[in-house]
Amino acid sequence: MLTVDHIRKEFGKVRAVSDVSFEIPTGITFGLLGPNGAGKTTTMRMILGILTPDAGTITWNGKKVDGTMRRRFGYLPEERGLYGKMKVREQIAFFGRLHGMVEPEISKRANSWIERLEIGQYADRPCAELSKGNQQKVQVACAAVHEPEFLILDEPFSGLDPVNADMLLAVFNDLKAKGTTLVLSSHQMWQLEALCERFCIITAGENRASGTLADLRAAWATRVLRVAPGDDAVRAVLDRVPGATFVTTDQDSVDYAVPSNTDFSAVLKALVGAADIHRFDAIEPSLHDIYIRTIGEVA
Amino acid sequence: MNDFIVVYSTELMRRIKSRPFQIGLLIGIVSIALFTKLPDLLRNAGSHQTNVVLAAPAAVLDRAKALLANDYAIVATTADATTPNAASLKSHDASAWIAITDAKGLKVVVYAKDPSKNWSTVGRRLAPLNVALATDVSQARLATLMSVPVDVQALDAHFSSAAQADAAEGIAFTLLIFLYMLILINSQLVMSSVAEEKTSRIAELLVASISPVPLLYGKIAVATTLALLQLFIWVTVGLLLGANGMHTGRSIDPGAILAGGVTATEIVSFLILFLLGFGQLSMLMAGLGSLVNRTEDLGSVSIPVVMPVVFAFILAIVAIQVPDLPWIVGVSFVPLVSPFVMFARIAVTDVPIWQIALCVAINLVALWAIAIAAGKLYRVGMLLYGRAPNFKQVWQVIRS
């Protein structure tokens, strides 16, 4: 388990991270969310040991993260970079060596990644000659060639076409299946919602919400009740639900916001008695909704 | 240690394959070939003999011809004393007509296409003949009498002869240029390499994998290795082509250099001072290189470090001429400057061993301090994007 405990980091007069804490159980995929400038990258850099926290501690399986441990970590930064003139295969092998791998394991792993990411035709070409998407695949290979215990991926899907995004998604799931703990930072909420088991939302250098999606939803005070048809008889029933407020309607249905502790069975019974109901959904808030509201509350 | 070896081996191959290194090596070889061969070529070009027609009375014609033959190509001789014209010169493909008459002493008139040439040489060359005609002393006897041998005995124990002192100055100058080129070119390559990693954004991936310290020192070690490789190649080329003491214009026999023209002290001090000077400058360059966000800014950032080196090179040239001036002795202990000036002093005079030891000690301390400061700058600078830090911020990082 990775434990981030009340870390703080300042650059001169600028406080990049004020107070961030979360726990990431081993083997899960963790989503780190926050607007630009929230302190996500600084937090990631502190986890990786690139920066030292001014206060607080970061431990991996109970031990403080150090240089030796870092060898077992992997990182795909948001700003991509490769040696332009170095060949793809050499580049992947170089990062393997940096993480303590030796031949013949390096060549075997490099070839395996080249095959897995379908970049065999570029393997012996300089990286600068590759398209942006293919360069990104090479970077993923560089970050994960040593099959890290812990892998941080900052915006791994940005700039990728849907086919390549799906390919990387499959790669990350494979890594997770092999036991790698993944940390994802992305502004593509639907991807995070599909991939991650736990989340932390950071704003202005502090974490505002954290836990599983169920935990985050449990803290959400209302649900959206979507009922069809949305005629007057239905609306009359919904208007009588304690705490219910009208949200919107269209030709077929009507949406009401109701308290999350509403007795939905009782409401459904009342509706069936009043009209011919053919749709009844108690819609949970999406990660996107939770994120927007959390950020909005801070703003 | 493993990180250092990985960085060293990868960076070494990357740099050897890089165009800037290959071009730098080639330019060095071509420059050395030019430095060594150009003086000879220029001398040969300058000694091209002028075609002349020699007109003189039969009694002196042969002797005058013998005296002038070393300086002029005498294409025709005649006893005809008539005044020549342009057509006369053209018919003999000559540039001048030297007319000699003998009436109570020799008299010479030169009819030349280019009167600005130094024709007074003709008078100096004919002087022994003039004296011989006037005194009846033989020309051979006169030639002996007109040249007084001078034996120069060196009192300074550093050199046994004036010729050796001249040769040493030439060698010192040549090695000084090697030192200057190696330190300046390679430290700037270190700077470019650091800036390239930062601007290509690979730096973050690197420092996430290993500590910045082996990354920085691996780069410096590679640059040092390549500089020594360049030195070996350049010196070999220089020796094969026959090095010249450029400022003296005297040729230095490569065999003589190997046989003792360059002393063991010079070679050892050259290598030690090179390592110290190069270490200091390349560390500074790496630290500063990590602060730039665009490779176009490298030139302006490197100026504060390059200028002292250029200044040191000029001081070293002065030191070759006057190595014992008190202020020259003083600056030979100043870091960044001393690798050049102290080497120049060692090459041309006997520097007390305590001064060499003190110089090395001061430079080692300076290298240590610069390594710490550069390491801090590098660690922070490699992840610093956006507006470049000002001097105050840089100073804060170094002090932290």
pLDDT value for B246: 44
Q: How do beta strands A245-249 and A254-259 pair?
A: antiparallel
Contact B200 A83 (CB under 8 A): yes
Out of B7, B200, B205, the one facing A77 most closely (by C-beta) is: B205
Chain B residue with the nearest C-alpha to that of A142: B205
For residue A125, give how far its alpha carbon lies from the nearest alpha carbon of chain B (Å): 14
For residue B7, give how far its alpha carbon lies from the nearest alpha carbon of chain A (Å): 8
For residue B280, give how far its alpha carbon lies from the nearest alpha carbon of chain A (Å): 26
Together in a domain, A193 and A127: yes
Contact status, residue A141 vs residue A168, Cβ threshold 8 Å: no
pLDDT value for B251: 47
Question: A64 is written with which tokens?
Answer: 């403080």
Together in a domain, A183 and A284: no
Out of B203, B205, B393, the one facing A75 most closely (by C-beta) is: B205
User: Of the residues A216, A244, A276, which one is the last residue of a structural domain?
Assistant: A216
A56 Cβ contact partners less than 8 Å away, ≥ 6 residues apart = A4, A5, A6, A7, A8, A19, A20, A21
A164 Cβ contact partners less than 8 Å away, ≥ 6 residues apart = A133, A136, A137
Together in a domain, A209 and A232: no
Together in a domain, A67 and A147: yes
Query: Per-residue confidence at B211, pLDDT binned at 50, 70, 90?
Result: confident
Gap between the terminal Cα atoms of chain A: 32
Average pLDDT over residues B20-30: 84
Chain B residue with the nearest C-alpha to that of A151: B208
Q: Does B203 touch chain A (CB under 8 A)?
A: yes
- Asked if pLDDT for residue A203 goes beyond 60, the answer is yes
Q: How far apart are CA A280 and CA A268, in angstroms?
A: 7
Contact status, residue B360 vs residue B342, Cβ threshold 8 Å: no
CATH of the domain at A259: 3.30.70
Contact B201 A77 (CB under 8 A): yes
Together in a domain, A199 and A131: yes
Mind listing the pLDDT tens digit for each residue in A156-201? 888 788 888 888 888 988 998 988 999 998 888 888 888 889 999 9
For residue B208, give how far its alpha carbon lies from the nearest alpha carbon of chain A (Å): 6
Average pLDDT over residues B338-343: 88
Contact B202 A82 (CB under 8 A): yes
Q: Does B86 touch chain A (CB under 8 A)?
A: no
Average pLDDT over residues B311-318: 89
Together in a domain, A112 and A256: no
Mutate to test the interface with B, among A45, A98, A153, A183 (most CBs of B within 10 A): A98
Contact status, residue A9 vs residue A17, Cβ threshold 8 Å: yes
Together in a domain, A181 and A274: no
How high does pLDDT run on average in chain B?
A: 81
Mutate to test the interface with A, among B22, B192, B204 (most CBs of A within 10 A): B204
Q: Does A94 touch chain B (CB under 8 A)?
A: yes
Chain B residue with the nearest C-alpha to that of A145: B209
Q: Does A291 touch chain B (CB under 8 A)?
A: no
User: Of the residues A167, A189, A216, which one is the last residue of a structural domain?
Assistant: A216
Contact A82 B383 (CB under 8 A): no
State the sign of the Cα–Cα–Cα–Cα dihedral A68, A69, A75, A79. negative
Q: How far apart are CA A240 and CA A235, in angstroms?
A: 9
Query: Per-residue confidence at A93, pLDDT binned at 50, 70, 90?
Result: very high
pLDDT value for B243: 52
Together in a domain, A57 and A120: yes
Contact B14 A82 (CB under 8 A): no
Cβ-Cβ contacts under 8 Å, A9 against chain B: none
Q: How far apart are CA A96 and CA A146, in angstroms?
A: 6
A58 Cβ contact partners less than 8 Å away, ≥ 6 residues apart = A2, A3, A4, A5, A7, A46, A47, A64, A65
CATH of the domain at A9: 3.40.50.300
Cβ neighbours of A240 (radius 10 Å): 10
Question: A181 is written with which tokens?
Answer: 């703990």
Together in a domain, A55 and A150: yes
pLDDT value for B387: 66
Average pLDDT over residues B84-91: 85
Domain extent at residue A292: 220-298
Together in a domain, A139 and A244: no
- Asked if pLDDT for residue A70 goes beyond 90, the answer is no
User: Of the residues A216, A246, A268, which one is the last residue of a structural domain?
Assistant: A216
Average pLDDT over residues B2-18: 85
Starting at the edge strand found earlier in the chain, the sheet holding B96-102 runs: B72-78, B50-55, B96-102, B106-112
Residue with tokens 């001398």: B43
Contact B14 A95 (CB under 8 A): no
Kindly provide the ipTM of the predicted complex, given to two decimals: 0.78
Total domains, chain A: 2
Chain centre distance of CA B169: 11
Q: Does B16 touch chain A (CB under 8 A)?
A: no
Report pTM.
Answer: 0.71
Together in a domain, A104 and A206: yes
Together in a domain, A184 and A263: no
